[in-house]
Amino acid sequence: MTFRFDINALRAIAIVGVMLFHYKFNVSRGGYAGVDVFFVISGYLMTRIIYNGLTKQTFSYLDFIKKRFLRIVPSLLFLVSSVSLICFFIYLPAEYMVQEKNALASSVFLSNVWYWLNSNYFDPNSETNLFLHTWSLSVEWQFYLLYPFILLLIRKFSKQIKEQTVLLFIIIVLICDVSIVCTYVYPTASFYLLPTRSWEMLLGGLAFLIESQYSQYKYSKLVAIIGYSLIGISFVDFDSTMSWPGFYTIVPVLGTFMILVANYSSLPLVNHSFVQFTGKISYSLYLWHWPLYVISQYFGVELDLGIKLLLIFMAYVLGYLSYKYIESHNFEIKTVSISFVSIMLGLVITSQSVTNKYLFKKNTLAISGYRNTHQQLIDEQMSVGKCFITSKYSGFSSYDKAGCLCFDNNKKNFLLLGDSHSAHLYLALSEALKPFNVNLLHASASGGLPTVDPTGSERFLEVMRYVYFDFIPKNKVKLDGVIISANWRQQEEGYLSEQLSKTALYLRKNNLKFILIGQSEVYTMPFPLIAARDSEYGTHSNARYLDKQAFIIDAYLKKQFEDEYINIINHSDFPETAQGNIPYMFDDNHLTSYGAALVAKKIVSDSLVINFLGSH
């Protein structure tokens, strides 16, 4: 097989885009599309291998899988075993067990399915998952297992290569359309699973079929330049708020397709030695760059420019060492298979029982494992599945209108509206408002912005549209006011101001006064882990893990809505862990019942709230 310098350059572009995105470089806000570039490349190369083997009648499925296994598994196992060993001594038991489950799923190429089944709104921040990036390897491996049979079927139903090209194109268009639709209905499944990602790899296969028919192409240089430009545009202009995979995914995927078809390697940048070096170690570099970032954040390292550059340097060093001593080594299938089975057994054991708990104090373990031991209490606190609808429930049909929107004619009736940041306050705020003779109604859902023009998941839109356009118009005379609470940090400042202004205008037109509960702190890792380590070592490290954007949004909204904005964020005076080893938050931004009680007390003490309630 002739070496393709352009494909190696594409690998370099893809990994650099992904790495810059993960390391928070603004120049690559859409760098996550590098994974899509990898998918197309993989589809092209696998089609080339399988198709040529079938044509020459030398293709062996077992030999094909064996080569893929030896290509991917050794480096992956080395990463998983090394990271697991290191984290045994530095990670708290509850978190370590979670990481080992992720490691196991990654090692058997089911991490994409695992994250789909176990990922919901209240999971710890994805940036704490050491093996999050392996979902794409799982997708590719699943594709390898099935793809030879797909090509056999295509060749069976169409004998001529042009017919096969047309048939494959039709299949790609159909799957792409389904993928775009699924992203709006089942976004997590669409992101992680092979069926909705397969069209990207199949497009790589289409590139091979077209290339084989047009080996001499007059405008190949122009086509290649346009392809690189499309990838560059997606890296620079796209961001993580876009639905993905979706319509915009076509841009980097099409760009990669064009470069593969053009087969043009005479551009100076393509042949640059550093670009080719990066492409050569791209797989190992991809494996190591993410755990470096996660571990640095686990210790609260501030991600300034110097640290970012240091992480990149370390990723290159580890990526090169992995490439030279693991990836490039010609391991025997027997050796790799024995290692694979041994490591799998080890991961099964460590993911089921925390083996490093003897390294930490009893109080530390209780704090770090708070969420695992108090999930039922958290669900009750937030009225999950009743007044607060999450991805676990079937949407608006699960919302208890009678119980959550019940008026009390002997009290003032205020409506608490929002996302999870209204839900975690509901019980505590209801209790704190009792001396003010207030009945608090409640409507919230996860995954959106609670404004009159709501954005977010379908369940969120259903709840918000009902409240704003059905419940409020019919009951505005009974309502004494509206309280809106949300995690404002997730939105852009200008857009947030615009949407809240529209909502304020809508409520005023309906003669309803309102207040906005301010942004609370957001941490870069689950708060119980921070509190647990502080308990273990007698430190006070909260401030090191604070997300700065939360304070920027808080200051911005306070300035924009000073007459309605209730400040609750803690700048320096952070609550201690309560008696019974109860932390202030149960993840990186949601309050426990103890934390909610403290915030509710702060809210009802605010003069703006006292005036809002009509009390003295």
- Pair 523, 569: CB distance under 8 Å: no
Backbone angles phi, psi at 604, to 5 degrees: -75, -10
Report, in this order, helix, strand and coil percent for the chain, each rounded to 5: 65, 5, 25
- The pLDDT tens digits of the residues spanning 252-283 come to 999 999 999 998 888 888 999 999 999 999 99
Q: Within a 10 A sphere around the Cβ of 567, how many other Cβ atoms?
A: 17
- The residue to which tokens 């192409």 are assigned: 217
Mean of per-residue pLDDT scores for the chain? 91
| 3-state SS class at 179 | helix
Work out the average pLDDT over 283-292: 97
Give the confidence band of 9 by pLDDT, cuts at 50, 70, 90.
very high
Tokens (6 digits) for 456: 């977010």
Three-class SS of residue 89? helix
Helices (H) then strands (E): counts for the chain: 28, 8
Residue 124 has pLDDT above 50, yes or no: no
The tens digit of pLDDT for each residue in 169-179 reads: 999 999 999 99
In this prediction, residue 392 carries a pLDDT of: 74
| Domains located in the chain, CATH noted | 5-357 (no CATH), 373-613 (3.40.50.1110)
pLDDT at 93: 84
188 within 8 A of 116, measured Cβ to Cβ:
yes
Mean pLDDT of 411-419: 96
Percent of the chain scoring above 90 in pLDDT: 70
CB 464 within 8 A of CB 450: yes
pLDDT band at 457 (very low <50, low <70, confident <90, very high): confident
Tell me what pLDDT residue 482 has.
96
531-539 LR contacts (CB < 8 Å, sep 24+):
531/367, 531/368, 531/577, 531/583, 531/584, 532/92, 532/360, 532/364, 532/365, 532/367, 532/368, 532/583, 533/92, 533/364, 535/361, 535/363, 535/364, 535/367, 535/577, 536/360, 536/361, 536/364
Long-range pairs, 565-568, Cβ under 8 A, ≥24:
565/515, 565/516, 565/518, 565/608, 566/515, 566/516, 566/517, 566/518, 566/603, 566/606, 566/608, 566/609, 567/518, 567/606, 568/517, 568/518, 568/519, 568/520, 568/599, 568/602, 568/603
**What mean pLDDT do residues 109-115 have?**
93
Residue 122, pLDDT score: 42
- Give the range with max mean pLDDT: 491-500, 512-521, 575-584: 512-521
pLDDT for 355 equals: 76
- C-alpha 172: how far from its chain's center? 26
Examine the pLDDT at 123 and tell me if it is beyond 70: no
Query: pLDDT per residue over 294-318, tens digit each?
Result: 999 888 888 889 999 999 999 999 9
Where do the H-state alpha helices sit in 369-526? 370-373, 375-382, 401-404, 420-423, 426-432, 458-466, 472-475, 493-509
CB atoms within 10 A of CB 63: 11
DSSP letters, 127-168, are GG-TTGGGHHHHHHHHHHHHHHHHHHHHHHH--SHHHHHHHH
Cα-atom radius of gyration of the chain, to the nearest Å? Answer: 27
CA proximity to 354, closest of 88, 64, 49: 88
Checking if the pLDDT of 616 tops 50, the result is: no
Task: Return the amino acid letter for 270.
Answer: V
Q: What is the DSSP string of 303-342?
A: --HHHHHHHHHHHHHHHHHHIIIIITS---HHHHHHHHHH
Q: What is the pLDDT of residue 407?
A: 96
Residue 352's pLDDT is 80
Helix, strand, or coil (residue 415)? strand
Distance from the Cα of residue 318 to its chain's centroid: 25
Q: Are 432 and 604 in contact (CB under 8 A)?
A: yes
Judged on CB neighbours under 10 Å (0-12, 13-18, 19+), 486 is buried
pLDDT digit string, tens, across residues 469-479: 999 999 999 99
Q: Is the pLDDT of residue 1 over 70?
A: no
- pTM of the prediction? 0.81
Position 187 scores a pLDDT of: 84
User: What digits encode the pLDDT tens for the residues 56-66?
Assistant: 889 999 999 99
pLDDT digit string (tens) for 354-374? 678 888 899 998 998 898 899
Q: Report d(CA 384, CA 201) in Å as an integer.
A: 39
pLDDT at 441 over 60: yes
**Pairwise pLDDT comparison (390 vs 138), residue with the higher score:** 138
* Distance between CA atoms of residues 475 and 61, nearest Å: 66
DSSP 615: -
DSSP type of residue 591 = B
The answer for 57, left when phi > 0, alpha when psi is -120 to 50, beta otherwise, is: left
How far is 62 from 77, CA to CA, in rounded Å? 21
Per-residue model confidence (pLDDT) at position 11: 97
Tell me which H or E stretch contains 414. strand 412-418
Q: What is the pLDDT of residue 239?
A: 84
Mean pLDDT of all residues in 240-246: 85
pLDDT on residue 217: 66
pLDDT band at 215 (very low <50, low <70, confident <90, very high): low
Contact assessment for residue 284 and residue 322, using Cβ atoms and an 8 Å cutoff: yes
Evaluate the omega torsion of the peptide bond into residue 526 and state whether it is cis, within 30 degrees of 0.
no
Residues facing residue 585 across a β-bridge: 591
Q: Tell me the per-residue pLDDT of 317-353, one tens digit each, with 9 for 90 and over.
A: 999 999 999 999 888 999 999 999 999 998 888 878 7
The reported pLDDT for the residue numbered 544 is 85
Closest to 283 measured CA to CA, from 332, 232, 322, 329: 322
> What confidence tier does 55 reach under pLDDT thresholds 50, 70, 90?
confident
In contact, 423 and 430? CB cutoff 8 Å: no
Instruction: List pLDDT tens digits, range 571-587.
Output: 877 888 998 999 999 99
Question: Is the Cβ–Cβ distance between 512 and 472 less than 8 Å?
Answer: yes
Given a cut of 90, whether residue 450 has pLDDT beyond it is: yes
Q: How is residue 186 written in tokens?
A: 């089942």
Q: Which two tokens stand for residue 154?
A: 């295509």
For 110-124, 144-158, 393-407, 490-504, which range has the lowest pLDDT when averaged over its residues? Answer: 110-124
Q: What is the pLDDT of residues 141-156, one digit of tens each?
A: 999 999 999 999 998 8
